[in-house]
Amino acid sequence: MVISKENQEFLEGLIDYYVKEAKSYKEIAQEFSSEINSVVDTAFGIIIGCIYSSFLQAYSNQKLIPDTEDIKEFNAMIIKNTDIIKKSIIKN
């Protein structure tokens, strides 16, 4: 485990938040439905981008720079939660 316990808990909280708010991000994606191939995939990308941005900001606030192992662990956390995130987008 490379990411600190506190940062892992922060990321888990972010994932939970965005799962609960998936409908909003789906609505944003639907605004661009004529320009995109998949509303669900676009909403998923927006959510992952928001989580990643918050992850980077958390590191910056701690005066840290995520290294390759941090990014790999972040990606693993997202992959582990992909089904939950996508299902929350689909059901709304």
| Cα 56 versus chain centre, distance | 12
The C-alpha angle with vertex 63 and arms to 60 and 64, in degrees rounded to 5, equals 80
Span 52-69, average pLDDT: 96
On whether the pTM is more than 0.85, the answer is yes
Span 22-46, average pLDDT: 97
Span 6-14, average pLDDT: 96
CB-neighbour burial class of residue 62 (10 A; exposed 0-12, middle 13-18, buried 19+): exposed
Span 24-49, average pLDDT: 97
Does the pLDDT value for residue 92 go beyond 90?
A: no
**Are the C-beta atoms of 47 and 20 separated by less than 8 Å?**
no
Query: Which residues, other chains included, contact 6 with Cβ-Cβ below 8 Å and sequence gap of 6+?
Result: none
The rounded mean pLDDT for the chain is 96
